[in-house]
Amino acid sequence: MTSETSSKPLFQRILDGISKSMALLVVLAGVLAFCFPSQIQSVLPTSCIPWMLGVVMFGMGLTLKGRDFALVLKRPLDVGIGVLAQFILMPLVAWILAKVLRLSPELTLGVVLVGTCPGGTASNVIAYLAKGDVALSVTMTSCSTLLAPVMTPLLTQLYTGESIQVPTLAMFLSIVKIVIAPIVIGVLVNEFLPQFSARVQKGLPAFSSLVVAIIVAAVVAASAANILRHLGLILLVVILHNLLGMVLGYLAGRLTRMDTCKSRTLAIEVGMQNSGLATSLAALHFANYPLATVPGALFSVWHNISGALFANYCNWKSSRTPQDK
């Protein structure tokens, strides 16, 4: 234990431990929900998922200020490449995997929803741990999230519209209510109540980690029987989707002459999705397709594991080649 860590109050050390254990918490929540689905469902109905996601988005807004978006003006090429990669690569990979593995329309919808959603908030933490460009990561997540009300419904329509009717306007309004409004409120609170925001921010990573784990538990509990029947196939799709996204994101950075630090950030931002949003949208607008919620739930579990492993690899690589570009 470092002197810096030991000097922190016990409660803060507990909060830090919770936030660092996010992957473990999400896995534990998924396992418990799978083993005790009826008990979890009685406490956590799927109707609570959008509200919980809104709370996480409000927390994200509390960490942002208007000046955080200045990077778009200072480095428009980096941000533009990242956001384009986000909305081009992940939906396309989802669609290709669905075709190659001959997924049902229901599962295809779930995988495509994950692919069309913006970057996940956990990506900023992983970018920091992987010694990536944290400022670029935060800006990419923010920009892709602000574009999501338009891009997510349109891309979902593009890739699944032939087999499933997609309520694009209703999805647009849901994303505004679940994602954009809480973030805007959080930013305003951070701007006008900075002292309150500063106090709350100390516990935000731990709180967000717990809420994400609760969301995963709610979704897994509601779909436990379907998960059991299709576990192998869905896990395969989720793992391939995430890993291909990370690899292609990294290659997109290198092909556009970004250095290693920025390329790592693109890998993380492209590969780690706001799968909680995908799950919420599936539950809200595609209730007739219960399997559509499952890829998002399992993606939430897996991408935290793969992100942590990638961060460890990046740290190992940096220790061997500290001047790596």
Following DSSP, what letter does each residue of 52-91 receive, concatenated?
A: HHHHHHHHHHHT--GGGGGHHHHSHHHHHHHHHHHHHHHH
Q: Is residue 34 part of a domain?
A: no
The answer to the question of residue 24 being in a domain is no
Question: What is the band of 65 on the pLDDT scale with cuts at 50, 70, 90?
Answer: confident
- Angle (deg, nearest 10), helices 204-222 and 275-285: 40
* Nearest-10 crossing angle of helices 294-320, 122-129: 20
Residue 218 scores a pLDDT above 70: yes
Is there a domain that residue 299 lies in? yes
249 touches 307 (CB < 8 A) = no
Instruction: Note the pLDDT tens digit of each residue in 263-312.
Output: 999 999 999 998 888 988 998 898 888 888 889 888 888 887 888 888 88
Enumerate residues 6+ apart whose C-beta is below 8 A from 309.
none
Mean pLDDT of 200-213: 79
Quick check: is 261 in a domain?
Answer: yes
Domain count, the chain: 1
In-domain check, residue 15:
no
- Whole-model pTM: value is 0.84
Report the distance separating Cα 18 and Cα 41, nearest Å: 24
List C-alpha distances in Å: 37 to 58, 77, 224, 228. 28, 46, 6, 12
Residue 224 pLDDT: 80
CA distances 101 to 156, 164, 191, 201, 238, Å, are: 19, 18, 48, 43, 12
137: domain CATH number is: 1.20.1530.20
Q: What is the domain range of residue 109?
A: 45-314
Question: Is 89 inside any structural domain?
Answer: yes
pLDDT of residue 322: 55
Q: Is residue 202 part of a domain?
A: yes
* Residue 223 pLDDT > 80: no
Residue 129 maps to a domain:
yes
Q: What share of the chain is helix, strand, coil (3-state, %, to 5)?
A: 85, 0, 15
What is the rounded average pLDDT of the residues 12-17?
A: 74
